């Protein structure tokens, strides 16, 4: 595309400082936005949609919930929430304007609104959400404990948090195998779709600073959430976490 600056950032150079990771996320997902839906289907061998449906199906029955979808991307979860809760309100929050442009173009529901914002500081009122969701969201948080604090703040007592993301095993050997698999498989799709393996190989690199399962579970508890249910996909490569903010 004429006049376009090619994406050149390296995730490993932006993992360890919150502002640097935030900047990387914004530029990376701006580059990925136009082909993101195709890429997620390809990298998941067509299973991405089923996993997201499983997330929404696991949510509790409620009549008119306020739902907040973090890192909403192109809107898949937001639209599923609108169908699950016909009388509810859905707010899709994402850092990247290019992603939200795709989501807004797809949106056909007056009950779904997309806003550009940071999951570390959503701008929403205390205890204003009944349900918070995130698919491939919190792993990208520049500051994971702060992300959980912000989610805890905006959730009502008794509210539900549902997260779908890559899951990091505690075993170091399995970690190395998972890293290699994701690096080469996802990097291949970055190369095919964008001419740059960095575009999707970042998934593997982002797991380097993401806590393993026991450490993540401990952080969840320390952040004030109860773990209700977990479900793993693809031999544990991904995990669905259903959490609750106590009354």
Residues 4-63 have pLDDT tens digits of 445 555 565 556 667 777 777 778 788 888 888 899 999 999 999 999 999 999 999 999
Task: Provide the residue count of the chain.
Answer: 247
**Residue 231, CB half-sphere, CA atoms under 13 Å: how many?**
14
Q: How far apart are CA 88 and CA 223, in angstroms?
A: 27
Mean pLDDT, range 154-178, rounded to an integer: 94
Q: Across the chain, what does the average pLDDT equal?
A: 90
Q: Quick one: residue 153, left, alpha or beta (phi over 0 = left, psi -120 to 50 = alpha)?
A: alpha
pLDDT confidence of residue 8: 58
pLDDT at 197: 82
% pLDDT > 70, the chain: 93
What local confidence, expressed as pLDDT, does residue 200 receive?
82
Pick the most confident of 18-27, 87-96, 175-184: 87-96
Q: Is 156 helix (H, G, I), strand (E, B) or coil?
A: strand
pLDDT for 63 equals 94
First CA to last CA distance, the chain: 52
Specify the 3-state DSSP secondary structure of 228. strand
pLDDT tens-digit readout, 110-133: 999 999 999 999 999 999 999 999
Name residue 70's beta-bridge partners. Answer: 93, 134
Are 110 and 85 in contact by the 8 Å Cβ rule? The answer is: no
């Amino acid at each position: 595309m004429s006049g376009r600056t090619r994406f050149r950032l390296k995730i490993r150079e932006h993992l360890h400082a919150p502002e640097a990771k935030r900047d990387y996320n914004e530029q990376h997902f701006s580059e990925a936005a136009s082909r993101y839906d195709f890429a997620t289907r390809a990298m998941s061998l067509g299973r991405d949609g089923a996993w997201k449906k499983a997330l929404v199906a696991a949510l509790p029955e409620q009549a008119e919930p306020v739902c907040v979808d973090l890192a909403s991307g192109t809107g898949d979860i937001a639209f599923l929430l609108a169908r699950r809760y016909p009388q509810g309100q859905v707010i899709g929050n994402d850092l990247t304007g290019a992603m939200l442009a795709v989501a807004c173009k797809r949106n056909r529901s007056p009950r779904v609104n997309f806003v550009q914002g940071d999951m570390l500081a959503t701008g929403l009122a205390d205890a204003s959400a009944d349900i918070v969701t995130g698919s491939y969201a919190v792993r990208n948080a520049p500051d994971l404990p702060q992300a959980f604090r912000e989610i805890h703040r905006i959730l009502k007592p008794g509210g539900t948090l549902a997260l779908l993301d890559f899951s990091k095993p505690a075993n170091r050997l399995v970690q190395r195998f998972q890293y290699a698999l994701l690096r080469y498989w996802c990097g291949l799709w970055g190369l095919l779709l964008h001419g740059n393996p960095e575009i999707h190989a970042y998934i593997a690199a982002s797991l380097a600073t993401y806590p393993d399962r026991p450490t993540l579970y401990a952080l969840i508890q320390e952040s004030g959430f109860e773990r209700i249910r977990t479900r793993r996909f693809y031999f544990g490569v991904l995990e669905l976490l259903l959490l609750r903010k106590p009354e």
